[in-house]
Structure 1
């Protein structure tokens, strides 16, 4: 592989690893808030147990999320020196503010964990709310830099030099709000479905006391409720994202839908594979006029096709498959969550075992959807690192030995994934929920 491909592979694998823990680090605090509020309102000790156990899981995950995030930051500087030269002058502000967001999260996480027994219920809720605010703010501020790469603002380049820098214009770039909402909502969704997967798995296991099954049914219902709402919010935001792409990144929208010819009443292509020679999506189900409506809320909206742009500026056409996979996962999660909630509410009976087996997959599906979304967003911006400003080939390092580093870090990430899973399993096996539920009434 050439140096640019190696740099992208190394950085992409680092981000793919970090995003697992970072996403759960943003999503789980919302679940803890919900459990704390329900405990305070209902006086049900099961919700207090949920909050404690989810907090312990969050602490383990943050133990990996923080150092892996540091690695990503170091790799930005080492692998993309051309990119960092511009970033340091234009969009460094959100990185600086993010330090304070992390400080807020760490401070109130310490208060919540170590002083919980000394705090009133409302003070515990306030503490974990600030944990969630800090975690979400960190995600938003880091996402801001990604959004700026897609819609760069706040500077000019004259004779190869960065001039006329306006940091706040860079921060409030056109895609910032839409992208940030999408990232945070999908993180909340993923945190909820991770809990749902575990609860469904526990309900499938036989030989447990009825007290435990009651506890896990409550956790599953709460997770499905929050996961369903957040997956729906993510889908609604997807409509706004399509409109943002139509206005600011038309090549990305065209590649996502395999649209070659500029046209009004453009169809939405679902599934299939893009055939570049035939300039069509083979095997797709087309919904007439739907893409035009998605892009501009009118069926006669003119959507620009790939042929309007130089061939060397086209994104890779496999992004159509990534886009479809992301949308499919989101749709399935909406159907599963609300379908399961309606079943429970209308039938007034336990979930059937086949449904529980399906629900155990919701957490992994959410993570796959998150990974797919990030890969789509970055790949569909190619060949640009900074859209229409700097090509990826201009941003990458010229240093050698990236292949060895790639193998080394892949091995490290694989080890850390297994190690984190082992620690999580070992800890909760040594501290079963039955011990915490003993003597309580639910």
Structure 2
């Protein structure tokens, strides 16, 4: 009913359907690039503040040196992330004018609040970076806390806007007109909490495993001093703690999808026919309205969704073909995300068991190799999760209300931005990697105790 009502609004405004392939590709590229920096902006500040606090608490200069070096990297990543975030803000209005014109008043609030969080983070990050050796140690440590809080809030508010696109609330349609706009209800829509918490935990996991993987590679190359051991151990411990929590939250998010977006769930599992006792499918290729070559666990999907092996699950057949997402994109992305999640859970368990038994890292080369690839794996899994979220909602930009083709800007030449933006991101990537490498090479790790002490702030 809401779709029919809103169609009259679109018709009255003269909104026409446009081929959205180029704008979707451009937006997907921008989001896929920016989200990596956004994740590091959420998780890395917490690690930096913890390392600094631990260094003051124990008197170990290795902790403080790690904090100082990671803070410099954070400054670079934040600056580049501000550029890509600005690009995204322009793209929202430029590429999706149909959505912003009609729903800007509904979803504008979280973007406005996120702007305040961003500026608070920028201000305190500047103070934190400039304040090394200039502020009293305790004061300097306290200036890092707003960076952590504002980074998490910034991610939450942005994700709440995306959650609204999956579960649109905060407005009503009367006589073909949008009325009763409630921005707070839109921001705290039913999808906000499962999607928001799932994303924040994913950001912490990405930051943790990326940081640990850098030191895993270094240790594989023979750098086995305490500095590198701590550089691996601290973020890996955070990742090991976060992984099992994320598995539980992921299950919560999947149940929300099953209840509110059953077509997306059917695409995630490649399920065409609605049925009771639906199997859980791993792998396989979807064609001819069926999933071929998959490993099926009988009644597994029904059991996970409803705690009942005979539970009813709606398949893709329940909606017209034009309303179905691309199964061969959504299904493998979902399988990959889940597989990597359990792999990281196993890696964290391996570390935890070794620490519990011997108070040390596992000493095998296999463990270090697993840690070294965990950062790339965690990042790829996070990207796969966003593919599931966004492609699984297709063809809707606002679920069951507005199609992507109705939201895209119909202006001619809108697709010319794609190659230009691709070049911009190539330049940004090369520049970011170059600057980070220069930071590493310009400040080699001290080896003597007196060098460590001079490289870090004094102990409180």
The TM-score with structure 2 as length reference comes to: 0.90
Q: How many angstroms apart in 2 are the aligned matches of 1:235 and 1:112?
A: 34
Question: Does 1:331 find its partner at 2:347?
Answer: no
Unaligned stretches of 5+ residues in structure 1: none
Q: How many angstroms apart in 2 are the aligned matches of 1:293 and 1:215?
A: 47
Per the alignment, residue 358 of structure 1 pairs with 370
Give secondary structure in 2 for the equivalent of 1:281. Answer: strand
Q: How many angstroms apart in 2 are the aligned matches of 1:311 and 1:245?
A: 20
Per the alignment, residue 31 of structure 1 pairs with 47
Per the alignment, residue 419 of structure 1 pairs with 431
Question: Does 1:288 find its partner at 2:298?
Answer: yes
Report if aligned partners of 2:302, 2:310 keep a CA contact under 8 Å in 1: yes
Per the alignment, residue 90 of structure 1 pairs with 106
Q: How many angstroms apart in 2 are the aligned matches of 1:334 and 1:123?
A: 36
Mapping of residues 389-428 of structure 1, within 5 Å: 389-428=401-440
1:123 equivalent among 111, 114, 139: 139
Question: Does 1:215 find its partner at 2:231?
Answer: no
Report if aligned partners of 2:30, 2:88 keep a CA contact under 8 Å in 1: yes
How far off is 1:27 after superposition?
Answer: 1.5
Per the alignment, residue 312 of structure 2 pairs with 302
Question: Does 1:201 find its partner at 2:201?
Answer: no
How far off is 1:128 after superposition?
Answer: 1.6
The CA RMSD measured in Å over matched residues stands at 2.0
Question: Does 1:387 find its partner at 2:399?
Answer: yes
Q: How many angstroms apart in 2 are the aligned matches of 1:341 and 1:216?
A: 18
Per the alignment, residue 71 of structure 2 pairs with 55
Question: Does 1:312 find its partner at 2:317?
Answer: no
**Distance 1:113-1:398 versus aligned 2 partners, 3 A rule:** same
Report if aligned partners of 1:250, 1:304 keep a CA contact under 8 Å in 2: yes
How far off is 1:3 after superposition?
Answer: 3.7
Per the alignment, residue 278 of structure 2 pairs with 266
Q: How many angstroms apart in 2 are the aligned matches of 1:126 and 1:282?
A: 56
How far off is 1:235 after superposition?
Answer: 1.5
How far off is 1:294 after superposition?
Answer: 2.1
The TM-score with structure 1 as length reference comes to: 0.93
Unaligned stretches of 5+ residues in structure 2: 1-17
Stretch deviating more after TM superposition (3-12 or 299-308): 299-308
Stretch deviating more after TM superposition (190-199 or 398-407): 398-407
For residues 211-230 of structure 1, the C-alpha deviation after alignment (integer angstroms, 9 at most, x for no partner) is xx211111211111111222
Q: How many angstroms apart in 2 are the aligned matches of 1:296 and 1:122?
A: 51
How far off is 1:350 after superposition?
Answer: 5.7
Q: How many angstroms apart in 2 are the aligned matches of 1:300 and 1:123?
A: 59
How far off is 1:436 after superposition?
Answer: 8.8
How far off is 1:119 after superposition?
Answer: 4.1
Per the alignment, residue 226 of structure 1 pairs with 238
How far off is 1:12 after superposition?
Answer: 1.0
Per the alignment, residue 269 of structure 2 pairs with 257
1:12 equivalent among 18, 28, 48: 28
For residues 357-414 of structure 1, the C-alpha deviation after alignment (integer angstroms, 9 at most, x for no partner) is 2321111111111111112210000000000000010001112334432111111101
